[in-house]
A and B are shown apart, each in its own frame.
Chain A
């Protein structure tokens, strides 16, 4: 691949997260470089989704430092993450089922809308101009993900694989610099997985978006990621290039269930 992987843009140092007495994450450190595809893998309950939630500000770790674009941040809410260019998708699809694909993707533009609600209600100059510009961007996303044929379809009527694609579309509509994908391929058949892989690679390649993804399908992870971090029971047990991780004994043990 000919893309240029840049500087570290997200650095997580010694992150620990507890829910009461439950240790979800213990002393985890890793970094994410600009333009790379960074995978987080691990068995069920390893803390992968918690890690993602820490990155986008849903959970606040009790210990550790998060440095994003060179600045340390302690407390951050998810909407701050959104305005700073972090977008995400969810493990269980979180779309508005009764709204059309178009409207769902439009919600991804919300942080970029400037006109206030009175302007929108009265359809004044700025609101109209904005709406047209946003609609154009949304149409580009629709074109990119090849979902023109379901533009006006309510999301609840779509098959699972397409809903996943719409969710990716909503995240893309925010024009993020970093995209967090929580199991983008869970529950898909082979063909849908291949399509999704292609879209993820295309996003990374064409827009230079940095991607952090959680995925169970090892084949997929090894194929598309640049670097992989492996979690087990809230601890980091491996980190490196896909091939290194694949041959790491701890990783093999965690996945094959060898007794500890």
Chain B
């Protein structure tokens, strides 16, 4: 443990504000938050942050924010928004982070549901969204904005510049010097510390109320397993409304005391990642996927010698890289080759990815393809999986170092109990469980059973090593007409490992065979087409090119071949598929804001395509309405070709 970091949680540090002020007192000069502004990384120390949080909290109090009030937080990962979370907690209020790219109407539901009176937002764009729905949320009283750009002509009395709020707070502090400490002292560890809305793959979003105790326990468990240090750095770039960001960039940062780094803008994350070189990194599988895709695309454009060298050493890494990382015995020859590979390929590659200082990288949020996962581990990046959901502070299972398997999500984390229900559903219990859904005692009762276990809704099993394996969402696991198990996610993930394929939706429940929709990755396929001199005018046109159909067919065939080897899923080989004419998009409600496919919605929307897949037609016309980012609507239409894939006989089990 590095000097000055709090070890364990001493008595009296059971809430996040107390942890914050403790850091400010004991290691006030250490960096707490960095943000790249005007091209330069600016640093706030723990004492700077504590001072600002005090000012913001007092300012909020001066505006009338009270214990139990909810504070909406809307925007990209900005230092001031993280500070606003702490400020609300100081007063016994509850921060409610929103997904910042949601349109105004989507925000309306949460604004009403959480009875929002105060909102802290990033910029003019978010202010405009709130003003749009202001007349429909009579409770909303004050909006605080961080970035004053473009706000000069807004003179509504309920709009406040965050710096003005801080000034107001500093004056309030001078006049009532004991006020804030008394407020912080009133906070109890089992108070609700944050409300995170579930993304709503099922029904309306629900507000998950988590306590200080739950998030602190989860953060400490993570620190214990991964020996996190106060000198670490993390890049905070995932939506603040996502439980993962709250655990890593807020809870763990406050418990362990490491530095969070806010990127300059959403488009500069890759550059910022390289500049910061975080020691601790968290990303959903799709980020690792797109990182790999971009590397592969660039390698295809590289010279012959570089390309050969790259592929040769990737082969070496595939053979022995993971074993070396896990400290398992590896022959001398391979070790030497791997060392040379580190010098020539892996080291530079890690550097390009911005991952050369990484001690621990995590992925979660969706299942990760085993090949993708092994790739990162083989080049020496300690990528691990964790498993959890909003209701469990994203803290149920972690993969301990040295026991990492691509297929499992790891062993139960410290303090967590797991059992598998009769129907295969994973049930969990521990200090990280939610206090309840906000004003939904019915939903709370439904999700927690009589013994106090939370029902995750995931189907899984515990393997011989005691590690949890997740198969799919329990409700998505279906049966083919002949009774064989059909786990759509499992097949889809296999396909999504191909760089050309971005998204897949498989169908097969109560059908005689499996069919699929495929979304191509326009970057990778576009590059592929360019190199072959195939001209195309846009996404829809590209999806209609016969060579592209052939390309995707080879991917599907390959997956079918691997499926045929496993008796459990051999029946799930994809018989027919089509390439969708548009990308599945959260703006069209086809994906959730966290980019998970809303399976039932997609099935309903494209029913005619499913009928065509099963009806044996060769082509099908489709016209779809699309929503643009600015709210306008348009239509795309295409004649989709339906492609028959090759299927393989089930391989004989070699006992």
Q: Is B450 on the interface with A (CB-CB < 8 A)?
A: no
A-B contact count (CB 8 A): 35
Distance (whole angstroms) from the CB of A114 to the closest CB of chain B? 22
B202, CB-defined interface residue at 8 Å? no
**A149's contact among B37, B38, B153, B267, by CB below 8 Å, is which?**
B267
Measured between alpha carbons, how far is A12 from B627 in the docked complex, in Å?
Answer: 47
Contacts of B150 in A (CB 8 A): 202, 205-206
* Given known A-B contacts A139-B38, A142-B39, A148 and B264 have beta carbons under 8 A apart: yes
Q: Are B267 and A143 in contact (CB under 8 A)?
A: no
Q: Is B637 an interface residue (CB 8 A)?
A: no
Q: Mark A132-172 against chain B: 1 for CB-CB distance below 8 A, else 0.
A: 00011001101110101101100000000000000000000
Whether the Cβ atoms of A148 and B152 lie closer than 8 Å is: no
**Chain A's nearest CB lies how many Å from the CB of B276?**
15
Mask for B604-644, Cβ within 8 A of A = 1, else 0?
00000000000000000000000000100000000000000
Interface status of B294 (Cβ within 8 A of chain A)? no
Question: Is A2 an interface residue, CB under 8 A from the partner?
Answer: yes
Question: What A residues does B562 contact at CB under 8 A?
Answer: none
**Closest A residue by C-beta to B629:** A191
Residues from chain B with a CB closer than 8 A to the CB of A202 are 149-150
CB-CB < 8 A to A140: which residues of B?
A: 38
Q: Mark A187-217, 1 if CB is under 8 A from B, else 0.
A: 0000000100000001001100000000000
Report Cα–Cα, A135/B39, bound state, in Å.
9
Mark interface residues in A58-100 (1 if CB within 8 Å of B CB, else 0).
0000000000000000000000000000000000000000000
Residues of A within 8 A of B39 (CB): 135, 139, 142, 148, 151
Chain B interface mostly: loop
Please tell me if B554 contacts chain A, counting CB pairs below 8 Å.
no
Dominant SS among interface residues on chain A: helix
- Considering the complex, which residues of chain B in the window 237-274 have a beta carbon less than 8 Å from any beta carbon of chain A? 264-265, 267-268, 271
Smallest CB gap from A205: residue in B: B152
Q: Which of A144, A149, A206 contacts B268 (CB 8 A)?
A: A149
Chain B residues with CB under 8 A of A2? 153
Whether A149 contacts B152 by the Cβ 8 Å rule is: no
Bound complex: CA of A136 vs CA of B271, how far in Å? 19
- Chain A contacts for B152, CB-based, 8 A: 205-206
The residues of B that contact A139 with a CB separation of less than 8 Å are: 38-40
CA distance A152 to B272 in the complex (A): 13
Nearest neighbor of A149 in chain B, beta-carbon distance: B267
Contact present for A148 and B267 (CB under 8 Å)? yes
**A35 → chain B, closest Cβ, in Å?**
14
Contact partners of B267 in chain A: CB under 8 A: 148-149
What CA separation (Å) do A151 and B150 show in the bound complex?
23
A148→B265 contact, CB < 8 A:
yes
For A206, list chain B residues within 8 Å (CB): 149-150, 152
Chain B contact residues, CB within 8 Å of chain A:
36-40, 149-150, 152-153, 264-265, 267-268, 271, 630
7 contacts between A and B (CB under 8 A): A135-B39, A139-B40, A140-B38, A148-B39, A148-B264, A148-B268, A194-B630
The 10 A-B pairs at the shortest CB distance, nearest first, are namely A149-B267, A139-B38, A139-B39, A149-B268, A148-B264, A148-B268, A148-B265, A2-B153, A143-B38, A140-B38
